[in-house]
Every structure is written in C-alpha cells, then in structure tokens.
Chains A and B, each alone.
Chain A
Amino acid sequence: MLNFPIAESFSLFLVSNHLFDYRKPTFNMKQRILCGVLFFTGILFLAAQNDYPTNQQINQRLQSLNNDRTTTLTSLVKTEGGQDIWVLKIGTGDLDNKPAIAIVGGAEGFHVLSVELALQFAERLVSNHKKALETTTFYIFPNMSPDAYAQYHASLKYERRGNAAKVDHDRDGSVSEDPYEDLNNDGLITQVRVESPLGDHKTHPEDARVLVKANRNKGEGGSYQVYSEGVDNDKDEKFNEDPAEGIAFNKSLTYKFPVFEPFAGDYPVSQPESRALLDYLFDQWNIFAFVTFSPANNLSEPLKHNAQEAKKRVVASMLEKDVALNKMVSELYNKTISQKAFQQDNQGTDGDFFQWAYFHFGRLSFSTPGWWVPEVKADKPENGEGEEKPEKPKEKPTVTKESNFMAWADREGLTNVFVPWQTVTHPDFPNQKVEAGGIKPFVMHNPPYAMVDSIALEHTNFILEFAKMQPKLEFHNVKVEKLSGGLSRITADLYNNSPLPTHSEMGEKSRWLRKIRIDITKDKEEVLAGNTINLIDKMDAFESKTMSWIVKGSGNVEIKAGAAHAGFAVLNVKL
C-alpha cells in the first residue's frame, strides 16, 4: 500500500528530482506519480508531493499561506545565493502585544525535514487551529539556510551547511580550492575508502557495508583509510577541506562562536541572513519562546545545570530555574511525541541558534531534530532468565550511528539509502584499491518523506500545547474603597496564571525583554499614593502581587499591566 502524505494543505507541485525511494515495492518515479494520480484523482486532491520541497515550492506554499487573513509574509533579505529569507507572522487582533512563539526551520541546510516541519506547522495552524491565535502570535522562519538547502535538489547532492558566500575555510589564502568530487558519478557525495594497512578503519563486524574506527586501545589494526568523496586538489594531504560553500547559519551566532573554524568565519553574525533575522527579532518584543528544528535536542531531555558554569560572568550553563522550566516542557514533549529518544547526545554546538536564543536573547529556547533514527535492538540471545550463563560473556555488539541506521533501514525495507562500494580510480592513490560508496547523504537526518506527515502532526500538537502554558496576566480581588474627601483606594491582585514565569531567570537579566509595566490612567496630580507608572522585574509562575493606589476624583479608571511578551491584563474601575 502506498503511503502518501496527508497534509491539510494540498497543493499540486511538480515532483522534483527525488532522493528517497524507500518504499518496499520499488516503483520508479513515473509509475509512482501515475499511481498517485489514479489513486487520488477521484478523491479531490492531487497529492503529488512525495519528496521534500524545493526552494521554489517552499515559496509557493508560503505565498499560498499568505492568502489567509491571519498571515503576513515578509522577505527579510536575500541571501548571497539569491534566496529569500522569509518570515511568516501569524496572528489576529493586537498581535504585537500577545505573547509569541517563534518557529525556526533550516538552521542546518542538510536538515531538510526541519523546513517541512516549520511549514507544516504554519499550514496546520492556519487551517485547523486558528483559535490559538486568540491568545498567541506565531512567527515562522521556515528556512534559514536556503542556499545550503538547495544542495538537496542539486545535480550533485551532499550534506551542505554553508551559504553561497565565498569563504576560505582552511585559511590558506585560496578560496574553495579543495571541493568534493563525485568519483563514481552517481550524483552523490559519499565516502571513499582506501585499502591500506595504515588505515584506521575496518569493516563493522556485524555489517560489512559499514566502516568503524579500529580500536587501537584493544590492539586492533585497521584496513582502510576513509575520506569524504573527492580528491586532494591542493595536495595538502587533506581531503575536501575547502568546499565550495560559505558560512553555516547554525555555526555563526554569538554564543560560543567558534572563531576561525570552517563554516564559522572571522566574526559572528557576519552573513546577511543572520543579521536580518537578528535585527528583526530584536524588534519583536512579544516573543517569549523559540522552537527550533535543528540537530540539537533539549526537548527529549532538558539541558543540564552546571552550577559552576552558570555562576561565571560569561554564563555557560542554563540557569537553575530555567533548567526546571526546560524539564517541564520536556515532559510535555515526551508526552506528545511518540518517538523514544535514542542517541540524542547533541545538546547544542558552538555558535548555534537555539543556544543563542536562550543565552544571548534571554528567551525560552527549545530545539529538536523532529526525527532521529530509532534504536534497533539486536535480537535477544536465546538463553532466558535463570539459565546458566555462557562461560564467556558474549562481547557486546558495536553499535554505531551508521550500523544502527543500516539495521533500521533494513527493517523498514529502505532499499535506496546506501551506495555499494565500487572501485574507482583516484589520482592521490594511484597504486591502491580505492572504492567509493557508503550511506547516502541526508538519509540519516531526514526520514523518508512519507513519514513526515505524522511527525509534523505531533510537533504541531506539541507547540500548540506548549503555547497554552504561556504567561497569562490577570487581575483578581479588585476592591474600591471610598475614603473621605472624594478619595478612593483601589486595590487589586495582579496574577500570573501560568506555570511559566513572565521572565526566565536569563530573561530577567536581559535588556531585550521589557519589564512588567503597570499604568493607571489618571493625571499624576490625582494619584496620591502608588505611581502612575510602576515597573516589576518579573512575575513568577502562579505568582500574585497586590497593588494599590489612592486616587482623587470620580469616573472611570483604566489599569493596564503587562509586557508584550507576557501579554496584558486590563482592569476598568468605576470610582
């Protein structure tokens, strides 16, 4: 049975040059389209999308989203590669003064799933969940790496991070002088292995397709040298160290910026797209949280608290109270998302976006890859409990990311994820056996497109559930007492009816979050006690604060309390 994506927004797209051909019965492209057309024609839709969209298709989907009355689509800038950096702002009413969540996709260009997840969130939100807009505003940045993303659909496909800027990654004075080469002419950059007693790799004991590092500590010798697919163009004995790509968005922001490393550049935020995004974000005072789809994961498990690093002047650990918030949101995530965490060991990398949003922008910040290769458990040994143990405990099988992936692909019947090793001639190893092959690019980070639908559905639900937790200011226990001589005392409790504080511990430090401001609309001369303007640094989860004023005169008084990222509560009092 063909498993076509069932998205809420159907558009007819040209089927692009696709990478995945995972399905058990292996149809070729044309057959599949034909099949799809036959299958769906009678049912209304022509759901022909069976691969991740091209940049052009993304633009079309955004344009069609822009037809909705709740959305505004804006291009922040064009990248060096000529692609738009889009923001889709979704909201109703006084949308700049409602707490907002920003959704970011395409932090990494090779992580094509992330773009689809951001897009589908927007599509599902607009089609099915408009009610959420009554309280929350959403900013969708579907793709921060469109230049790199395009490599997925290019004639030569490889996992690309950098944009189209010209960068001398190895800092030798020549730009992009050692790019990849497709030695076996399959349109994919995989790996080459060179048979050599000097090699530090060997074949995996359980899966000969996969290479593992020889364990020198256990006295293992290697039999292969392993390189990325290409030649050493500049004869510096490094392979493909200066590829034809530029700066990686997710390695070039200010938090722990890895200066002078490849893909990072000479100083942080050097690229038009990162500057445009940050400039825009610094003007949106209502964002209280970010959900970034990127390889880092602090949703399956929260970030850890390191008291020493948190105390340093240059803070290098999430602060204690914020770790507790992270934990609470992680619990929600694990409740909403069916996939169990496996090998989710990336909790942030230097210069990345999601850590920037927390450490340097003071917002709650969450990241998830959206999908990962599930754990494939080895077959259980025959002997059951209570039986005699074998004399020698069987050595634990080596599970690497690659071997687990291949086992999973086998289990799922994905037949098109591996390029069999094939002998090629290689100018740098003229007298040695050189083979090109290995796991195809993209497939370890992005599931077959047919799986995306359910992933997007679950993540949409997670974000919507999370939005319900947002800070919510309310007035309670309002009292007006008449004093003599035309004076009144107004008393009210300001209450944050939310499990989240209005300011994270980090947010409280940041100048880029406003304080909670309470205004009473009365002339200064008529307010005898309590100021016309009051500022509160933060309101904790479920915290209430009693406020009171003595005012002169009669009529209506409006009291307004809040901040853009926490929303506003308004109280009308008749004197």
Chain B
Amino acid sequence: MRNRLYTPFICFALAIVSIAEISAQEKFFRAIGTPHEPKVEVSWNRYNTYDGVVDIMQKIAKAYPNLTRLESIGKSVEGRDIWLLAISDFKTGNPDKKPAMYIDGNIHSNEIQGAEFSLYTAWYLTEMFDDLDFINELLKDKTFYIVPTINPDARDNYMKEPNTPHSPRSGMLVLDNDGDGEAGEDRFDDLNNDNHITMMIRKSPTGRFIKDPQDSRRLIRVEPEQQGEYEMLGFEGVDRDGDGRVNEDGIGYYDPNRDWGWKWQPDYVQRGAYKYPFSLPETRAVADFVMKHPNIAGAQSYHNYGGMILRGPGAEEDLDTYNREDIRIYDAIAKKGEEMIPGYRYLVVYKDLYSVFGGELDWFYAGRGIYTYTNELMVSYLYFHKNEGRGNQEEELKVDKYLTFGDAFVEWEEYNHPQFGTIEVGGFKKNFSRAHPGFLLEQDAHRNMAFTIYHGYHTPKLSVLDVEEKNIGNGLREITATIYNERLMPTHSSQDLKYNIERPDYVALSGVNVVAGMVVENADFNIVKEQTHNPQKMEVENIPGMGTVKVRWIVSGGGNYSIKVDSAKGGLVEWKK
C-alpha cells in the first residue's frame, strides 16, 4: 500500500533528475580547454563594472569554499574594498605558506581587461580543480593571489562617466595639474552626451584637413599647396575656468604605476609620481599585502596595450639591478609565453617601451626579489593576424567596417560650442583600440592565464630527495639530507641574495642530539661549511632552481628523527624516519 503510494513520487523524482541530465547531455558537448557546465556561469565576452567584478568573485568564493578565500586588502581613495581571491587547495596545508603567484590588473583605470583576465584565471582554476590532474596538483602545491582591480574607483569612472580610451588612467584623487591653485577645474565635457569623449573638428578656411571622400569617418591631411576644410580642436571639452585652455585640469593626474618603492623619483624626474612611494591607498594596500606574504615568488600585472610581456628594469639607471642569473629565469619563462600568446613579444621596459621610475614590476622584483612580468594586453595581431602596431587608424577603420560593423565609431555630428561656435563631434569610442572587442576577449584571457600558470608552476617546489646515514664511531652518526628544488625558480632570486631580502631557508633536524651542523658545498670532495650557532636549525641561503642543497649533521645517540624544510618562497616540507 505504502509502496504503491510512494512509487509514483520516486518515479517522478527520478524522471526530473534524468531529464536534467539528458538535457545537459543533449544540449552541450564539451569543448577541450574550457570548464564544462561550470558552477559559476560567467560571460567572457563583456566587461564588468566594479560591482560586476565583486559579484563574480563572491560567486566563485561561495561555490568553492575549500579552494578560495575572499579578502579585502584595503580601501581605495573613494572607499571601495580592494578584493583579493586566494586560490589554493586549502585542505593541503596553509595557503599562505605555499609558494605563491600574485596577479593583479587594472592599475591604470582605463586598462580594464586585466580585471577580466584575472577573474578568468580564478574561475578557470576553481572550475577545473576536479577535472584536471594538473590543476589539482598545482593547487595542492601553490597559491594564487588574484586581485582583479587595484584601481576600482577609476575603473568605474572610466566605464560610467565620459572618457577617452586613455582616461582617467590615474585614480580618483583630483590634483592641480596646471599649477593655478585649483584642482580639476577644467575637465572633459561630453558635448553630445554619449558617454564617450571623442574628437572636436571645425570647418575652417585655414584648416589643413579634409574628410576622406572614400570614408567620411577619416580626416586626411591635404597636400601643402592644397586648401583644406577642417581643423582639429582636440578632445571634447570647453574652457571651464576661462584661462584660454581646454581640458587642462581633469581627474588625477598622477600615475599609480609610478608610486612604488624601488628607486622612486619625484614628479619632476618621473612624471606621474605622487608624494612618496605608496602614498596612494591602492598601491599601499598591495605593498602591505606583499610584505605580509613572503611566500609570493612570482607576480604578474596586467596592463594594456600592445601585446607585450615586459620585464624590468624600468629605467636605464637601474640596469645593474637585473643580473644575469635572474635574467636567465626571466627569459626561460617569457620565451615560453611568447609561444603561448601569439602576437605578444617579450620586451624590456626601459629600452623597448619607455623609461619608468617607481613602477610596480621593479618594486616586486628589485624590492622583494619576486620574478614579475607586466603584460600589455590586446594587440593588433588579434584582428587580422598581422602586427600593425599600436593605434593604426587604417586598421582600426577596417576592423570597424568588417568585424564590428560600426559599433566602434561615433559618426560626426554638428554641435554648437560656446567658445568654438559650430563644430563637429565624433571619432572612435573609448572602449575601442585599447580594450579587446568582446569576441577576442576569452581567447586572449585564456592564453595569458596559461602564461601565468606556467609562471606559477615554476615557483620553487621542494622535497627531501634523500637522507643518508653513516655511523662514524663513538656513538656518533652523520646524517646527510639532500633537498631538491624541482622547478625553475630558486628559493631566493639573486637580487634577493644580494640584499638578503628574504630570510634564509631553514633545514631543521629534531628528535636527536645535534653535535655539529654543516652545509655540504661539495659532496665529492667533502667541502663543508660549519654553522656553529644553533646547528640543529641549519640556515641555507638558497636552494637553486632544478638543483639541490645538502645539509649534514653529526648527532649523538640513537633514535628516530625528522627533518623540516621551511622556506619562505619554497614552502614547507617534512621528512620523517
């Protein structure tokens, strides 16, 4: 009787489950390389405001509580939280003791896609943890600290307020840029209310430009002896303060990427520097976090644009800081990156880009000993598989004609300007050129992520490879442990060793009475260096990449013992007998 009553219900329930399963199986077929039916659904072909970024981070944290920790590392100028996701297998050791990879984006507020690329990384790692052995092992060994936007205020300003593709770049502090004692009194004006700051042109008998008869979007310069029709008046704006200049004092200006504490220089040497290193709350929040997390061994910062994998030095004056041993590792990782991200080139900031004092990557490397790259995301190559360089107008007009069908351009339209009279306003939108169009976003995010995974993978991985024990008479034993680092990066970069930035690695023996301790510098010829003070806890200055270190103790008495390796950037390893 009862059975009969329940049976239909059970059948019904089963039917629902199987329908759900069937529908998934029928509707989707797994694509290699992408999480299939992820717990957190995200569209990777659009951009997210600050609220959108936080929403995705919260969803990931909620879906994967054993793989993530969501924390605010500080507040921005306008009081927004700067959120960080720590991603690791939290069941296999303290994530803040594992070798770690730090990733941030969007330090320049208009360089938005770094946030999406960072988020994609967090999403991919968590969604693939159960699917792929490689990712599973990676998160057992490592921690990824991911901060999608370290400039949240101005990210929102870029998106929500009228801007050019290049503004605000700084954060939202408003400084006096023209030295007149007033701050931000002459900003852009969105004359045509389209939320984009485009260009102003005006018909003039002395103008040197005409509209291209083949393509009216384009202004072309006339021959020297020809009469033109238009003059260029710059970005949309009016002279608000009556000093005869337009748009000369907007939001900012300072550059958060000139605010870092290695060989920092003031504004007259390095334009964009603020008051002193970490005088901005956003950069200070990152610096404080990094100082408290010496386990960070690799770092990545996302900018746009131009398709570059950049390393320091930022300034020629700092050339000596990057020494040969460390450059070898930089080269090995970045050259692999060039293969993973077609169109991107591995370059050095000071000689291939421009000179920067007080940049983030220099502080991470020179100030903290962390191998760090900056990627300039988005490159012309992605459009037509030709590298036409940055800001190639011909190519951009072609892209908007054949690939984006006019979505990127504001057609010229007349406007009555209070100072210039009748003008025309138009041009490329702020979210074109520097920012990827949606259809190119996911692929480039994945490739850049793959590069950071490769980078993170090659942070040190330590193990106790071998322990030899020898009886040397008089109740004494000689114990020799070989510690192996099976990845590219040493536990201390040579910059780190030069300044003792991070403490030495400790190899500690416990359970037996230690008579003497020494580092074996050459096992074949028994060349050793004794440590007289506290020999049970041997201090090893470095464990090289793809190399070993041997530590030896002379101990008295019998019994079992254990060996603990404790390295700030190499993690914790224990061996027991």
Contact among B244, B266, B499 with A254 in the assembled complex (CB-CB below 8 Å): B266
> Quick one: given A266-B261, A267-B262, A314-B317, are A254 and B276 in contact (CB under 8 Å)?
yes
Contact with A along B256-275 (1 / 0, CB 8 A): 00000110111111000001
Contact among B267, B275, B277 with A267 in the assembled complex (CB-CB below 8 Å): B277
Q: Which residue of A lies closest to B363 (CB)?
A: A267
Q: Which residue of A lies closest to B243 (CB)?
A: A533
B291 within 8 A of A: yes
User: Judging by beta carbons under 8 Å apart, are B501 and A315 in contact?
Assistant: no
> Quick one: given A266-B291, A515-B180, are A510 and B266 in contact (CB under 8 Å)?
yes
> Quick one: given A279-B275, A313-B317, A314-B317, are A254 and B264 in contact (CB under 8 Å)?
yes
A391 within 8 A of B: no
Chain B interface residue number, banded: 35 or more
Q: Which residue of B lies closest to A513 (CB)?
A: B179
Give the number of residues in A that approach B within 8 Å (Cβ atoms).
Answer: 42
> Quick one: given A360-B266, A510-B267, are A531 and B180 in contact (CB under 8 Å)?
no
Contact with A along B490-526 (1 / 0, CB 8 A): 0000000001110110000000000000000000000
User: What's the least CB distance linking A98 to chain B, in Å?
Assistant: 15
A228 within 8 A of B: no
A213 within 8 A of B: no
> Quick one: given A254-B266, A267-B287, A268-B261, are A532 and B275 in contact (CB under 8 Å)?
no
B533 within 8 A of A: yes
B421 within 8 A of A: no
Contact with A along B176-193 (1 / 0, CB 8 A): 101111000000000000
Q: Which residue of A lies closest to B532 (CB)?
A: A235
Contact among B176, B241, B277 with A268 in the assembled complex (CB-CB below 8 Å): B277
User: Judging by beta carbons under 8 Å apart, are B180 and A259 in contact?
Assistant: no
Question: Which residues from B are CB-within-8-Å of A253?
Answer: 276
User: Judging by beta carbons under 8 Å apart, are A517 and B499 in contact?
Assistant: no
User: What's the least CB distance linking A469 to chain B, in Å?
Assistant: 24
Q: Which residue of B lies closest to A315 (CB)?
A: B269
User: Judging by beta carbons under 8 Å apart, are B277 and A172 in contact?
Assistant: no
Interface of A is mostly: loop
User: Judging by beta carbons under 8 Å apart, are B277 and A269 in contact?
Assistant: yes
Question: Which residues from B are CB-within-8-Å of A535?
Answer: 178-180, 243
User: Judging by beta carbons under 8 Å apart, are A514 and B181 in contact?
Assistant: yes
> Quick one: given A267-B278, A279-B275, are A563 and B266 in contact (CB under 8 Å)?
no
Question: Which residues from B are CB-within-8-Å of A362?
Answer: 268
> Quick one: given A268-B264, A268-B276, A269-B277, are A171 and B499 in contact (CB under 8 Å)?
yes
Contact among A235, A259, A513, A564 with B262 in the assembled complex (CB-CB below 8 Å): A259
Question: Which residues from B are CB-within-8-Å of A515?
Answer: 179-180
> Quick one: given A267-B278, A269-B276, are A509 and B180 in contact (CB under 8 Å)?
no
> Quick one: given A173-B504, A234-B533, A254-B277, are A260 and B180 in contact (CB under 8 Å)?
no
User: Judging by beta carbons under 8 Å apart, are A314 and B269 in contact?
Assistant: yes
A236 within 8 A of B: yes
Q: Which residue of B lies closest to A534 (CB)?
A: B243
When chains A and B are docked, how far (Å) is the Cα of A526 from the Cα of B31? 71
A129 within 8 A of B: no
Question: Which residues from B are CB-within-8-Å of A285?
Answer: 181
A282 within 8 A of B: yes
B8 within 8 A of A: no
When chains A and B are docked, how far (Å) is the Cα of A236 from the Cα of B291? 26
Question: Which residues from A are CB-within-8-Å of B277?
Answer: 254, 267-269
Question: Which residues from B are CB-within-8-Å of A257?
Answer: 264
Q: Which residue of B lies closest to A361 (CB)?
A: B266
B207 within 8 A of A: no
User: What's the least CB distance linking B501 to chain A, in Å?
Assistant: 7
The residue in A285, A517, A563 that gathers the most chain B C-beta atoms within 10 A of its C-beta is A517
Contact with A along B312-338 (1 / 0, CB 8 A): 000001000000000000000000000
A278 within 8 A of B: yes
B242 within 8 A of A: yes
Question: Which residues from A are CB-within-8-Å of B357?
Answer: 314
B547 within 8 A of A: no
User: What's the least CB distance linking B36 to chain A, in Å?
Assistant: 45
Q: 27 interchain pairs (CB within 8 A)? A: A171-B501, A172-B500, A172-B503, A254-B276, A259-B262, A259-B367, A259-B499, A260-B499, A266-B261, A267-B262, A267-B367, A268-B277, A269-B277, A278-B275, A282-B275, A314-B357, A509-B268, A511-B175, A511-B179, A511-B267, A512-B267, A514-B180, A515-B180, A524-B242, A531-B242, A533-B243, A535-B179
User: 17 new A-B pairs (CB below 8 Å) besides A266-B291, A267-B287?
Assistant: A173-B539, A253-B276, A257-B264, A259-B262, A260-B499, A267-B277, A267-B363, A268-B277, A275-B279, A279-B279, A315-B269, A506-B268, A510-B266, A511-B175, A533-B242, A533-B243, A563-B181
